[in-house]
A = this chain, B = another copy of it.
Amino acid sequence: MVADRRRAVYVISVAAELAGVHPQTLRIYERKGLIEPARTGGGSRRYSERDIDRLARIQALTADGVNLEGVKRIMDLEDENEDLRQELARARDEAREAVERTHRHYRRELVPVDRSPVPYRRRR
C-alpha cells in the first residue's frame, strides 16, 4: 500500500495519533535518541512508516515498564540479534552449498573405481 516505508509522510500530530501518544512524547523520544524523524526545510518533523513501526515497538516496551534508556538498548540488541540470526541462516545455507559444490567438483572430475564403470564424457 505504501510505496516506500522509508518515505517520511506523517507530521507529528498524525504520528502521535498513530502511536497513541502525545505529540510532545515524540519530541522527547527524539531528544533521547530513540527515533530520528526527517525534517522539512522549515524544521518540521516528518515520520516514515518505519518510524511508526518503531514507535509501536517503543510503546510496547514502555507499556511493559521499560524506561527509555532501556528501550534504546533493547532495540539495538534486538536488531543485532536479528542480524545474527540471518547470518546464522546464511552460514548454514552456505555450508550446505559448499558441500554440494565439493560433491559436484568430484563428480565432474572423478569416477568411482570400485563400481561398474561408466563411460567418460567430456564436460558439455
Contact = CB atoms under 8 A, between A and B. Distances in A.
Interface of A: 61, 64-67, 69-71, 73-74, 77-78, 80-81, 84-85, 87-88, 91-92, 94-95, 98-99, 102-103, 106, 109-114, 120
Contact of A99 (B61, B71, B98): B98
6 contacts: A66-B67, A70-B71, A95-B99, A98-B98, A109-B112, A111-B113
Contacts of A94: 95
User: Main SS of the interface on chain A?
Assistant: helix
A95 B81 CA distance: 21
Contacts of A95: 91-92, 94-95, 98-99
A106 B99 contact: no
B77 A81 contact: yes
